[in-house]
Each structure stands twice: as C-alpha cells, then as structure tokens.
Amino acid sequence: MVRHGSLSLLRRVGVMMKKIRVKIIGLLILMGVLSLIIPQINKSEFTVQAATLKKVTKLKKAKAVDGTYFYSKKKQYDGFYRKISWKKVKGAKGYQVFRYNYFTKKWEKILTTKKNSFKITDMCEGEKVKIKVRAYRKKKKKKIYGAFSKTLTYTETTYLHYMLNDKVIKKGNYVSGKNGYHISCDQQAFLLQNEYRKKAGVVQLGWSDVLYEICKVRAKDIIDDFSHKKLDATAKMVLKNTFGHTEWELRGTVNGRTYGFPIISGENIFGGSTSPKQAMTSWKKSSGHYYNMIHSDYRYGAIASYEGRWVAIFSMVDVDEIVKNNNLESVQPALEILESE
C-alpha cells in the first residue's frame, strides 16, 4: 500500500511539474512575441526635463544701438545691432535660442550661448521676429533642459547691419542674413504676396529655389540698371552656371496645338527700402506690378532683396522640377492653361 501510495504521489508531482513547464514555455513565448511588438526604448531620443533648472524669464529686447566708433586704426566698427537679454538661470551651463520661421511654420535653433544675452545683426527693417530661450546644464554627458521662456514677438524697425572692418560680426551674435541676402525677410514678403493672391481669389504661388537664385542676382543687377533689360540674360546665365540648364524656351502640344513659352513669365522690381511690407505695398499700389502679383496663370515664384532692392519673378511652371530633375511633364499644367485661354 505504501508503495502504491508513493507511486501515486510521484505521478501527481510529475503531472504538476509538466504543467509548470508548459506554463513557463508559454510565458517565454509570450515574452518573445511582445519583444517583437513593443519597440525598444532609446533613451537618447528623450529630452530630460530638469525640475531644478528654472524657466527663462524676463526675455526682452533693447533699443537698436548705433555701434559706429573707432577703436583703433586697425578696428573700425560700423552699423546697428539690437541686444536681446534675459534673467540668468541659477545652475545653467548655457542657453539655447530659437526663432520661429514664418515660412516653414517651425521653430529653429539659431544660437547657443553661455551668456544671458546676444546681439542680432544683418536683419531687414520690417522683418517679423519671434524668439524663445531655454537654459541647459550638463549631467554625465547629457544635456538637461529647463522650460522655454515666453515668446518675444516684435517687428524690427531698424536695418541691422553691424560690421567690423566691413565684415559682419558673427561671433557670439545671431546673423539673420548671409552675404547681403536675407531669405527670412524675402520669404516673409513672399507670404504677404500670397495673401494678396488669396484675397484676389487666385491660387497661391509655390516657392522656387531656382527662381530665388535668379532673383538674388537680379537684385544686384538693378543697383546699377534699374530696369528689366537684363532679366533674360541674367536668368540664362544663372540657369547655366548654377544648374547646368540651357533650355530657355519650353514647348509642348495640347489637342494638336503646339505652344512655346519662356521659363520666366514676369518680373517686378522695387528700390528704396529693406522693409518687405513696404516693397509689397508699393507693388500693390501699381497696376502693372499688382497685375503680376495676382496673375491667375502664374503658379511658382520667388522674391529676393539686396541693399533695399527687391525682385520678384513669376513662372507658369514648376521650374525646380524642370531644372533640377529634368521633369518636362511638369510643363503640362501650363500648356492646359494656354489651351483654355
């Protein structure tokens, strides 16, 4: 009897062990499946928020300063700058400065500094500005960030162009432009032009990088020759030298009819102010310029400024697709427009 009882007990224990093994195997399989489904956490992708690092406060702009003076025979300062400052944050190693891009509708980091201030230079009069700042410190090779400051929003009222020996001072400063051009200012003007088109009930223009390069050269052209005479020659030169493109006349057939037209359909020019709003207002008040601004056949364009000279160029076609990608199919919408007229 004892033997039978012991055997029965052993059988029960064996059955229990088998069930436990089955459960363990099932659990291991489940864990394996979950590891495939649930993405692995990459700690480096997360921004560590520091409870001890305070929010940046008292973000403000100072009056534009005329920095013109002679330090020595070798150092000649010239032009205006504007200082942006905020209250120091205890324990901060430095600060990151962000500016809102009205064209892309995104915040972009423009400067990292250890000081609680910086100077803005090379910025257009009338340029819209949005800035916010956050402090940071380092811990075990990781940056720990504080909360962002409130947004400082204003429109620049002075043409800022602070130079040392005829060169823009970049170190420790935020330089809005580059080589005398100001794409942020130019694209704000482009947005304003599209607002005019929207109010007029016509399709808004798409931005063209290729046309922008042509506009930049044309803005320099009109310093010495304020006319449209050099438009075609300059455009052909830029297309060839910058993009290796030599086709100026575009052709295509719709319903058995062949049409031909140049890559560029129109141009506006203006001189006398670095303000994008003033340039756009001037064109709006001129019937010929306004005609170009709201022309329903135009689909793409760009605007550039240089030393207070402005150029807008218009096209019926996606110039970037044609020039950069050799996509001649993008001519078709323009051909259909011509066919419908």
What is the rounded average pLDDT for all residues in the chain? 86
For the ranges 5-9, 94-98, 132-136, 267-271, the lowest mean pLDDT is seen at 5-9
Predicted pLDDT at 201: 97
- Residue 8 CA: distances (Å) to CA of 13, 15, 22: 9, 11, 21
pLDDT exceeds cutoff 70 at 69: no
Predicted pLDDT at 53: 78
Mean pLDDT (whole number) for 153-170: 85
At 19, the pLDDT band (50, 70, 90 cuts) reads low
Between these two residues, 14 and 151, which has the higher pLDDT value? 151
Predicted pLDDT at 10: 53
Query: One-letter amino acid identity for 31?
Result: M
Q: Are strands 249-254 and 257-262 parallel, antiparallel or unpaired?
A: antiparallel
pLDDT exceeds cutoff 50 at 2: no
pLDDT exceeds cutoff 70 at 4: no
The token pair that represents 98 in the structure block: 């962000």
Predicted pLDDT at 216: 98
In whole angstroms, give the CA distance from residue 318 to residue 196: 21
At 333, the pLDDT band (50, 70, 90 cuts) reads confident
pLDDT exceeds cutoff 80 at 55: yes
Predicted pLDDT at 9: 53
Predicted pLDDT at 209: 97
Domains annotated on the chain, with CATH:
57-179 (2.60.40.10), 185-340 (3.40.33.10)
**pLDDT by residue (tens digit) across 230-255?**
999 999 999 999 999 998 988 888 88
Q: Are 216 and 238 in contact (CB under 8 A)?
A: no
Predicted pLDDT at 332: 85
Mean pLDDT (whole number) for 304-309: 94
Between these two residues, 25 and 157, which has the higher pLDDT value? 157
Handedness of CA 333, 269, 212, 281 (dihedral sign): negative
At 335, the pLDDT band (50, 70, 90 cuts) reads confident
Predicted pLDDT at 8: 58
Mean pLDDT (whole number) for 97-120: 96
**pLDDT by residue (tens digit) across 167-223?**
787 887 898 888 889 999 999 999 999 999 999 999 999 999 999 999 999 999 999
In whole angstroms, give the CA distance from residue 131 to residue 184: 14
Predicted pLDDT at 79: 86
Predicted pLDDT at 15: 57
pLDDT exceeds cutoff 60 at 6: no
pLDDT exceeds cutoff 60 at 1: no
Predicted pLDDT at 7: 46
In whole angstroms, give the CA distance from residue 322 to residue 330: 7
